[in-house]
Amino acid sequence: VHKILSFGGKIAFETHLAPMLRLQGEAHEIAFDLQVGDADKISVIGNAKEKRGLNGEHLFTRLTLFKATERLKFERSLVEARARAEERFKNEHAQLELRDQFIAVLGHDLRNPLAAIAAGTWILERHAEGDERTSTVIREMRGSLARANGLIDDVLDYSRILTGRITLSPDYFDLRGALEQTLEAFGPMAQSKNLELSAVVDRMLPKRVRGDRDRLLQVLTNLLSNAIKFSSRGEIRLDVDFTAEGESDGVLRVRVTDQGQGMDADTLKHLFEDQFLAGSQDAFSVRHAGFGL
């Protein structure tokens, strides 16, 4: 056998195939090269099994060789592909980390001027006693500040979603009070467009429920703001239904209904895609319009 083995093949034979035959009487899937004369090396996969007599004496060894040129090429291509995939993953992960850091810094820097404006509204309010017009302007400013802070929170949440770090913090809270607070916040926005904003809340809704209050209101805020934004007439109604399941569990269903133009079949296909704006034909606008419909 040694006469047709390449130098590397002899090493593989002596360090892998032969020891395994002595230890367990067989060897499988041993790769080495054959060298026949001055011809090119032939890559093979070898399986071997030896036969011994009753007294343990060696009778013969059967060696089966399979030409493995294509297989080895395939295995090498898999190793190379894996290395490229790992390198690409590292690069993408680094880019996500950089983007996450950038958004976090951006959110922090944007909050600083908003905090200064908020402080200014409190000062103005103390000097605006009895001036209804000024008080109305201050309330509108505070509403705009709240929406601006909400947008910053949405951007930060979107960054957390991209990096898989968004979390829920369930706790007991007054759901009815939270709903009333949300409707009150959107009242002026609806009135400015001559829209009627109403709510129908299930009488069986518990006083306190367990969940992530901020996340629930975030979803509700998104639904109501979009309903107001894309409606030009009629009523926007919030329906809250509760179905009890056992003594302490239940299913909460929240539905927002408006008289907007709705979505066509093509738009519905993209309903759960982020950064898609219905009706936009401009590629840049589609990519940068927002975080969902």
Q: pLDDT digits over 209-231, tens only?
A: 888 888 888 888 888 888 888 88
> Could you tell me the two tokens for 13?
């034979």
Q: Exposed/middle/buried for 9, CB within 10 Å: 0-12, 13-18, 19+?
A: buried
pLDDT tens-place string over residues 150-193 = 788 777 777 777 666 777 888 899 888 888 888 888 888 888 88
> Taking a C-beta distance cutoff of 8 angstroms, is the pair 287, 275 a contact?
yes
Distance between CA 145 and CA 137 in Å, rounded? 12
Burial code (b: 16+ CB inside 10 Å, e: under 16) for 163-199 equals eeeeeeeeeebebeebbeebbebbeebbeeeebebee
- What is the chain's percent helix, strand, coil content, to nearest 5? 55, 20, 25
Distance between CA 220 and CA 143 in Å, rounded? 17
Q: Is the pLDDT of residue 293 over 50?
A: no
pLDDT tens-place string over residues 118-161 = 888 888 887 777 678 888 888 888 888 887 887 887 777 777 77
pLDDT-derived band at 284 (thresholds 50, 70, 90) equals very low
Least confident of 82-86, 224-228, 239-243, 272-276: 272-276
pLDDT tens-place string over residues 45-85 = 888 888 888 888 888 888 888 887 777 777 888 889 999 99
Largest CA distance in the chain: 114
Distance between CA 225 and CA 202 in Å, rounded? 22
pLDDT of 279 reads 59
83-93 mean pLDDT = 87
Burial code (b: 16+ CB inside 10 Å, e: under 16) for 119-153 equals eebeeebeebeeeeeeeeebeebeeeeeebbbebe
Distance between CA 185 and CA 60 in Å, rounded? 90
- DSSP secondary structure letters along 139-155: HHHHHHHHHHHHHHHHH
pLDDT-derived band at 2 (thresholds 50, 70, 90) equals low
